[in-house]
């Protein structure tokens, strides 16, 4: 007989939520009741859930968000909660005692790991201290700090990147490329772009934009991989490695992937799980340097929004997560290496009780 499980799934308005819910339901060893929550009453993922609740934004009103989640958990007799956003993951990690008291398991990682990865300089320095390849990186606070490091980064022969120590989604990321005669904005809805150092300095001056709390790194020309990773007590449990196939290197949403189960990256991820003591899901952005050694660029304490792509290629990381959390036997699945993935609009079956929603 299948084990009946009720979960709270947050942020169900995500662009690729269909893939995530399809993967969660694709199991023959448990029966899932999904309680979706989102700050948007029109979140399109609500149609796919068995029940839906509107919640306040976790980052703006964390106490109210936690209170609402706990109320929903009581009402629906919830077994576990899976947050799909960084802000929600952080708040759950800060308040694990409340969930433990109610015997609700969560996929939220330990708070120390979350604090480290929320500051890219601290994250890279932590790798360096633990003798895990971090490449060249420098903390900069203003344009003069950058000028003093140009020779060290072999500019103008080589490109380099300036990015905020805090924040997500390519905001404030600048690629210094001497071959560009003018500054090019790479995304219309946020400040990020590429140009020569002189053009970038000029742009920063015109905007009165200060480079406070910034990180300077080489520009790595090799492919970047998104890694869906599941760990328990610092030991790698399962992994899917997806090569990014983006129209734009700073694109905040996926335009496609290709499965690339690179053994060097897998071994590197094992070392990350161990030093960070990861206990749950994580999302790593990893590139290879000029001599082919993996380097961590960014990390998240949850699966990426495009984790459903790994499911499409044969590796269901989401159902494996539920098995780890509820101590069910893991499934031995095989991902299709080389599988090429693209996001599509699709037609989906929904629970009958949701038939009149949005009509």
**Per-residue DSSP letter, 287:** E
The length of the chain, given as a count of residues? 359
Instruction: Please state the φ and ψ torsions of residue 340, each to the nearest 5 degrees.
Output: -100, 130
Nearest Cα residue to 5 out of 37, 27, 38: 27
Distance CA 284, CA 310 (A): 14
Mean of all residue pLDDT scores within the chain: 93
Average confidence (pLDDT) over 93-120: 94
Radius of gyration of the chain, Cα coordinates, nearest whole angstrom = 21
Instruction: Please state the φ and ψ torsions of residue 199, each to the nearest 5 degrees.
Output: -70, -35
- CATH class name, domain 3-108: alpha beta
What distances in angstroms separate CA 190 from CA 172, 193, 315, one per listed residue?
Answer: 8, 9, 34
Task: Tell whether the model's pLDDT for residue 169 goes beyond 70.
Answer: no
Give residue-wise pLDDT tens across range 109-119: 989 999 999 99
Tell me: domain 113-119+221-341, CATH 3.30.470.20, correct? Answer: yes
Question: Which CATH code for domain 136-218?
Answer: 3.30.1490
Nearest Cα residue to 283 out of 319, 241, 316, 324: 241
Average confidence (pLDDT) over 311-325: 96
Domain residue spans in the chain? 3-108, 113-119+221-341, 136-218
Give pTM, 2 decimals. 0.93
Q: Do residues 123 and 113 make contact, with C-beta atoms less than 8 angstroms apart? A: no
Task: Tell whether the model's pLDDT for residue 1 goes beyond 80.
Answer: no
Average confidence (pLDDT) over 6-14: 96
Per-residue confidence (pLDDT) for residue 191, from 0 to 100: 87
Containing 310, the helix (H) or strand (E) segment is helix 308-312
Give residue-wise pLDDT tens across range 239-289: 999 999 977 666 667 789 999 999 999 999 999 999 999 999 999 999 999
Nearest Cα residue to 139 out of 151, 126, 149: 149
Rounded to the nearest 10 degrees, the angle between the axes of helix 17-25 and helix 317-325 is 50
Helices (H) and strands (E) in the chain, counts: 11, 17
């Amino acid at each position: 007989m299948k084990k009946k499980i009720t979960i709270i799934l947050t942020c169900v308005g995500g662009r690729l939520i269909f893939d995530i819910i399809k993967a969660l339901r694709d199991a023959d060893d448990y029966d899932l009741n999904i309680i979706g929550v989102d700050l948007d009453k029109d979140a399109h993922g609500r149609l796919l859930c068995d029940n839906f609740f509107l919640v306040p934004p976790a980052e703006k009103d964390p106490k109210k968000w936690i209170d609402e989640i706990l109320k929903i958990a009581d009402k629906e007799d919830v077994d576990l909660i899976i947050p799909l956003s960084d802000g929600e993951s952080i708040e759950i990690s800060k308040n694990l005692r409340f969930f433990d008291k109610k015997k609700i398991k969560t996929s939220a990682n330990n708070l120390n790991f979350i604090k480290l990865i929320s500051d890219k300089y601290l994250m890279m320095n932590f790798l360096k201290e633990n003798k895990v390849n971090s490449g060249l990186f420098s903390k900069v606070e203003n344009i003069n700090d950058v000028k003093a490091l140009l020779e060290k980064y072999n500019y103008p022969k080589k490109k380099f990147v300036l990015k905020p120590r805090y924040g997500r989604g390519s905001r404030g990321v600048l690629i210094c490329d001497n071959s560009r005669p003018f500054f090019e904005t790479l995304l219309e809805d946020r400040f990020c772009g590429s140009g020569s150092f002189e053009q970038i300095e000029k742009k920063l001056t015109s905007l009165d934009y200060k480079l406070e709390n910034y990180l300077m790194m080489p520009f790595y020309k090799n492919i970047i991989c998104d890694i869906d990773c599941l760990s328990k007590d610092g030991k790698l449990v399962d992994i899917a490695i997806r090569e990014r196939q983006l129209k734009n290197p700073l694109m905040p949403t996926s335009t496609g992937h290709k499965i690339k189960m690179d053994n060097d990256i897998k071994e590197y991820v094992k070392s990350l799980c161990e030093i960070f003591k990861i206990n749950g899901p994580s999302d790593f952005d990893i590139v290879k340097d000029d001599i082919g050694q993996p380097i961590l660029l960014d990390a998240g304490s949850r699966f990426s929004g495009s984790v459903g792509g790994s499911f499409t290629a044969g590796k269901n990381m989401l159902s494996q997560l539920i098995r780890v959390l509820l101590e069910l036997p893991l499934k031995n699945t095989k991902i299709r290496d080389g599988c090429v993935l693209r996001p599509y609009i699709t037609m989906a079956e929904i629970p009958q009780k949701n038939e009149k929603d949005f009509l």
